Structure 1
Amino acid sequence: MKLRAARAFDPVANARSRASPLLYRDTQLNADVVKVLPAEYFCTERDLALMTVLGSCVAACIRDPIAKVGGMNHFMLPDGEVTDGVPARYGSHAMELLINELLKHGASRQRLEAKVFGGGNVLKGFTSQPVGTRNAEFVIAYLSNERVQVISQDLGGIHPRKVCFFPVTGRALVKRLPHAHDDVVAAEESAYKSRLQETPVSGSVELF
């Protein structure tokens, strides 16, 4: 199935990810679903569902209810210097990228509304300024500064989440996953931590 939607991929990110969005049919939701991975974002005017799994990461689901266009990002750290061509890993870039893509799709900045999820402190050993808390605080502050209304949020805590967002209708579904058995999310975020440590970052950034 061909997607009439915008996905921003950097060549470097492409080498580590996939060349096109992962689209599949979810029979339980009775919907076509695009999976949004860490450091990615997706924007569409089609009647699709956007799906992601979050640990300490945050996903902002933003839409224009009049233009019926919306999207989701999935960022891993609040901010940092882009040294490897993957700007969407940082909230400061991922938010700007998603909003700009929405505007290209016909959204009006004045009508944008957001639902935000994630920021759970799911990994042990990071109790001082945990990255999940920092991500959650960042996304709320960013949207407030941009005057984008947050109409729903599920942030913080210790549990990872599975999030499904329908950009056309604005419907969002959240499933909190068992903390004790979240091997997949913990392994994914720990692996990303290792890759980040191989790349210089600016400032004092606590990596998860």
Structure 2
Amino acid sequence: MSATVPGSVANHHYFDRDLDCKAVKLLPSEYYVTTDDIALTTVLGSCVAACVVDLDAGVAGMNHFMLPEDGEPGTRGQVESMRYGAYAMEVLIGEMLRAGARRDRLQAKVFGGAAVLANMTTLNIGDRNADFVLRYLKTERISVAAQDLRGQHARRVCLLPKSGKAVVRKLRTQVDVQSIQREEGELLRRLSAVNKNTGMV
């Protein structure tokens, strides 16, 4: 069973040879909630992914958000709002509860928030994302079972829902690093354009 917020539910299903199982790959601004024995995977630079499980209910979910701040209410579409941590966390937890999870049993593992481009450090996006997700989970009283945040390396994260185990691999190969750097460069350009238009620094 998967969650049903239109447009932002990950839909890239594939067979993961490394994990030897079916998997769903999450892209930025997506999430996925499942009760099936299917791996959830994503690749992170400055973005953060929260992996949340209720092992007793057999419900697990993951999101992938790009920025810590919430979108302004009423000014953004649902998919674009998933870029923002506050909305992405709210949707993920809400869909997990609808799938049968209980808030008092939720456990989280959080990853990402790296500074993979030198000029990303001026905006501190990775640090801000990492700070946000830890603050959010503390406020919501959801325990953090594991974390691998900040640093300079991109990460590939795999969540195995049935066990709640998360596998993290730092990406160091040229192809992986260049791919993430392109994505981060595009994010940086978009943020710079937004900041210019709004007068923000």
TM-score by length of 2: 0.88
Kindly state the Cα deviation for residue 186 of structure 1 after the two structures are TM-superposed. 1.3
Q: 1:104 and 2:98 equivalent?
A: yes
Query: Using a 3 Å threshold, how does the CA distance of structure 1 residues 176 and 7 change in structure 2: closer, same or farther?
Result: farther
Alignment of 1:42-81 (within 5 A): 42-81=32-71
- 1:127 alignment partner, one of 121, 124, 127: 121
**Divergent runs of 4+, >3 A:** 192-206
- 2:3 alignment partner, one of 3, 6, 9: 6
Alignment of 1:142-157 (within 5 A): 142-157=136-151
Which residue of structure 2 aligns with residue 186 of structure 1? Answer: 181
- 2:86 alignment partner, one of 81, 85, 92: 92
Aligned length: 196
Q: Which has the higher helix share?
A: 2
Quick one: distance in 1 between partners of 2:199 and 2:159?
33
Quick one: distance in 2 between partners of 1:103 and 1:48?
19
Identity over aligned residues, as a percent? 45
Residues 81 and 201 of structure 1 are in contact (CA less than 8 Å); yes or no, is this contact kept in structure 2? no
TM-score by length of 1: 0.85
Residues 116 and 152 of structure 1 are in contact (CA less than 8 Å); yes or no, is this contact kept in structure 2? yes
Residues 7 and 41 of structure 1 are in contact (CA less than 8 Å); yes or no, is this contact kept in structure 2? no
Kindly state the Cα deviation for residue 194 of structure 1 after the two structures are TM-superposed. 4.0
Deviation digits for residues 96-151 of structure 1, max 9, x if unmatched?
A: 00000000000000100000000001111133351000100110000000000000
Kindly state the Cα deviation for residue 205 of structure 1 after the two structures are TM-superposed. 6.5
Kindly state the Cα deviation for residue 196 of structure 1 after the two structures are TM-superposed. 5.3
Task: Give unmatched runs, 5+ long, in structure 2.
Answer: none
Name the amino acid aligned to 2:3: A
Quick one: distance in 1 between partners of 2:200 and 2:173?
25
Kindly state the Cα deviation for residue 87 of structure 1 after the two structures are TM-superposed. 1.2
Q: Secondary structure of the equivalent of 1:6?
A: coil
Quick one: distance in 1 between partners of 2:88 and 2:58?
21
Quick one: distance in 2 between partners of 1:133 and 1:89?
16
Residues 10 and 27 of structure 2 are in contact (CA less than 8 Å); yes or no, is this contact kept in structure 1? no
Deviation digits for residues 63-86 of structure 1, max 9, x if unmatched?
A: 111101010000000014253311
Q: 1:33 and 2:39 equivalent?
A: no
Quick one: distance in 2 between partners of 1:203 and 1:179?
37
Quick one: distance in 2 between partners of 1:169 and 1:202?
46
Quick one: distance in 2 between partners of 1:87 and 1:78?
11
Quick one: distance in 2 between partners of 1:9 and 1:189?
25
Q: Secondary structure of the equivalent of 1:184?
A: helix
Quick one: distance in 2 between partners of 1:190 and 1:205?
19
